[in-house]
Chains A and B, each alone.
Chain A
Amino acid sequence: MPLFGKSQKTPAELVRSLKEAINALETGGDRKAEKAQEDVSKNLVSIKNMLYGSSDSEPPADYVVAQLSQELYNSNLLLLLIQNLHRIDFEGKKHVALIFNNVLRRQIGTRSPTVEYICTKPEILFTLMAGYEDAHPEIALNSGTMLRECARYEALAKIMLHSEEFFKFFRYVEVSTFDIASDAFSTFKELLTRHKLLCAEFLEANYDRFFTQHYQRLLNSENYVTRRQSLKLLGELLLDRHNFTVMTRYISEPENLKLMMNMLKEKSRNIQFEAFHVFKVFVANPNKPKPILDILLRNQSKLVDFLTNFHTDRSEDEQFNDEKAYLIKQIKELKPLPEA
C-alpha cells in the first residue's frame, strides 16, 4: 500500500464496487441515487485509468488488464453497464465506451477473449443496437461507438447482421435528429461493408427483404442526406466484386433501372452523379434481360442527348468522361433482341 495518496483498489474490488453502485443506481431513491452516481463515476474513472494508464503514469501492466477483464466477464458487468447506460451521467457514459472498446481489443495470441465472451452473451450486442431507439437519445452516440468497434470483429458482425434487430437500422437511419441518424448510418454502413464475404452472403440470402422492402425506401426518402448517403452506399455495394451475384440480380430488375434514371435527372447534382455510377452498371451489363433492354431502347435518343449534356463541366475527371463516352456509345448501338 502506498504511503501517500489513495490506496489502489484491486481489479476485483473495483468491479465489485462498481457493480454495487450500478445496482444502487437502478433501484435507489433520489438521495441514494446521487451517492450511487458519484460512486459509479469514481469507479469508472479508476477502471478507465487502469486500462489506458493516466497520461502521467506508466502504461498498465498486462496482468492487471487480464485480471480486470476476467472480473468483468465473471461479474457480467459489461451487460449491466450497457443496460444502465442511460442512468449513468454524461462523462460516465463516455468512460463506459472507453472501457468497453479497450477490453474488446484484448488479445491472447490469436484469440480475442472478449469477442469470444460477447459471442456467448449476444444480448450485449442487441442492447447496444437498441441504444438507437427513441427512448434514450442521450445514449445513442455512445452505443454507436461501441457497436462500430464490435463490427470490426467478424464473429460479432455476423451475430448483428443475422439478427432481427439489424432491420431496425432502416428506421434508425431516418430518425429526425441528424446526429443520431448519421451515427446510425455509419454503423449500418460498417456492418454492410467491413467483412466482404459475410456481407455478400447476407445480402444474397436476404435480397428481397433488404433491397425491395427496405432499401428502396431509403432511396426515396424525403430527407436529402439519407437519399444521398444511401445512393452512394448502394453504388459501393453493387460495384464491390464480392457482391457480384447481388449486383446481377439488382440490374436485372426494371424497377431499379427506372429509379436510377429518375435520380439521374434529380435537381441535386450530387445525387445525379451518384446515380450515374449505379446507372452505368445497367448499361454495361452484357446480358441485359428483355425488360431492361426495352426501357433503354424506348429512351434511346433521350438518353444519348441527356448523357451528352450530363455534367459537362467535369472535364478534369478522366475516368468519368471515359465512362460517359462508353455509355453513350453502348446506348447508341443498342438493338432490339431478335424475335424468338
Chain B
Amino acid sequence: MFGCNPLDYDLKVELSRCFNGIGTVYLAQYLPNGQHIAVKKYRMDKASKEESILARDELLIMRQFSHPNIHTFHTSFVYGNELFQIAPLMCFGSCKDTIANCFRAGFPEIFVALIMRDVLSGLEYLHRRGYVHRSIRASHILLNQTKAVLAGFRECTSIVGHGERIASLHHLAPCSARSLNWLAPEVLEQNIIGYTEKSDIYSIGITCCELANGVEPFADAQPTFMFTEKVRGNVPTLLDRSTCPASEEMIEIVASTDSDSIRQAQQIYCQRVFSDEFHQFTEICMEKKPSSRWSALQLLSHSFFKQCRHTSILDQLQRFGLETKDYSQIRDESLVLCSDLSEMNVHSNDWSWDF
C-alpha cells in the first residue's frame, strides 16, 4: 500500500529527534492516497556500525509482531544516505512528550489505567511469544486519539534462540545505559540466575510511577543509590497525599529549588489521591522477587482496570481538551529550505586520482 519512492512522501513538520540524533520523525502525507503518516528518517552515514545494526534489528524484530498495541511500520527503504521508515502516525508522540506538553505533574490516574491496559495487552502478546522488551518506559509508549502502543524495540530480544528455549537471559541490552532507572533489580545485578520476561513487569511498575508522577523515580539520584534501593527491595511510590508528605526528601528537594514547576508539581502531589488499587498495582509490579510479580495476563485482570470500563482514551482526551489539529493546515516552511540546503552540499571532492 505504501511505496518506496521518497518523492511520494510530503514531509510537513519535524516532530522529534531520536536514536542519538541519527533519527528524525516527521509528520508527512503520502501523496498517492492523501493519508497522514509518520516518516522516521535515519541518517545512516552518521550511524556507527553498531548503530546501523541496531536500527536494522529493530525493524526486523518489529516485523515479528502483529498486535493493535504494538507499534508497527508500513514499509522501509533506503534513499541516498537515509533510511526511511514509514509508520502509522501516533499524533501525541510518546507519553513522555505528552507529559512535557500537557501533564507536568503526571497523567491523571484514569489515563494511566487506560494506557497501561493497552501496554499490557501488547506486552502479553510479546511475552506469550517468548520476547522480552527490556526497555519499557514512558518514552517508548506512543499515543494517538484512540490507543497507546508499545514501541522502542531496539533492546527487545527473544528467549528462543537457534530453535531452543533459553531458561533465562544474562546480558544487559546493548544500549541499556539510558534505561537503568527502569530496569529490574535482577537485571542490574547481572548475577548467574539471570532474568526473564518478569523484568519487564518491574519496568511496568516504574513506568506507572513515571506516568503518574510526571518524572521517573530516581531521576535525580546517583545510579549506585538507585541500584542499592532496588536490591534492598525499596520500591518507588506514586506521589499523592498518602505518600508525598511523608517523604522528607521531597520536602528538602522542594525547599532547595527555585523552580516554580517543581513547587507546583509538589502542590499537586500533596492534594491528589490515587486509588488503593493503583498503589497496590504498582507494588505488585515491583515485587523484588520476580516470581512474586504477576504476569502481564494476570495484571490485566487487576481491579485497577475496573475504572476503564465505561470510558476510553478518546473520551479522556476530550475531557482534558486535547484535540488533534487538522494536519492539512500544518506546514513548516523552513523544512523545505533545510532540505534544499543539505542538497547543496559543498563539493570538496572535485579532484581525482590519476589512473
Is B a genuine binding partner of A?
A: yes
Chain A contact residues, CB within 8 Å of chain B: 52-53, 90-91, 94, 98, 100-105, 141, 149, 152, 176-179, 182-183, 223-226, 228, 232, 254, 258, 261-262, 265-271, 295, 298-299, 302
Residues in A with CB closer than 8 Å to B251 are none
Assembly CA distance A105 to B349 (angstroms)? 52
Q: Is B95 interfacial (CB-CB < 8 Å)?
A: no
In the assembled complex, how far is the CB of residue B345 from the closest CB belonging to chain A, in whole angstroms?
A: 7
From known contacts A94-B129, A261-B353, infer whether A176 and B163 are also in contact, taking CB-CB under 8 Å: no
Assembly CA distance A261 to B45 (angstroms)? 19
Residue of A at shortest CB range from B48? A270
From known contacts A105-B162, A105-B164, A299-B354, infer whether A268 and B60 are also in contact, taking CB-CB under 8 Å: no
Asked if B165 contacts A268 (CB within 8 A), the reply is no
Picked from A52, A141, A224, A302, the residue with its CB within 8 Å of the CB of B44 is A224
From known contacts A179-B59, A183-B60, infer whether A223 and B162 are also in contact, taking CB-CB under 8 Å: no
A contacts with B: majority SS: helix
Residues in B with CB closer than 8 Å to A265 are 349, 353
Residues in B with CB closer than 8 Å to A298 are 354-355
Sample of 12 more A-B contacts, CB < 8 Å, known A53-B165, A179-B60, A270-B47: A100-B163, A101-B162, A105-B164, A149-B162, A176-B4, A179-B63, A183-B60, A225-B83, A267-B349, A270-B45, A295-B353, A299-B354
Residues in B with CB closer than 8 Å to A101 are 162-163
In the assembled complex, how far is the CB of residue A121 from the closest CB belonging to chain B, in whole angstroms?
A: 18
Residues in B with CB closer than 8 Å to A182 are 56, 59-60
In the assembled complex, how far is the CB of residue A164 from the closest CB belonging to chain B, in whole angstroms?
A: 27
Residues in A with CB closer than 8 Å to B129 are 94
Assembly CA distance A260 to B118 (angstroms)? 52
Q: Is B32 interfacial (CB-CB < 8 Å)?
A: no
Closest 5 CB pairs of A and B: A101-B163, A102-B163, A178-B76, A176-B4, A268-B45
Q: Is B77 interfacial (CB-CB < 8 Å)?
A: yes
Asked if B63 contacts A224 (CB within 8 A), the reply is no
Asked if A225 contacts B349 (CB within 8 A), the reply is no
Q: Which of B156-179 contact A (CB under 8 A)?
A: 160, 162-165
Assembly CA distance A271 to B81 (angstroms)? 11
Residues in B with CB closer than 8 Å to A261 are 353
Picked from A141, A178, A258, the residue with its CB within 8 Å of the CB of B355 is A258
In the assembled complex, how far is the CB of residue B48 from the closest CB belonging to chain A, in whole angstroms?
A: 8
Residues in B with CB closer than 8 Å to A254 are 355
Assembly CA distance A299 to B353 (angstroms)? 7
Residue of B at shortest CB range from A146? B163
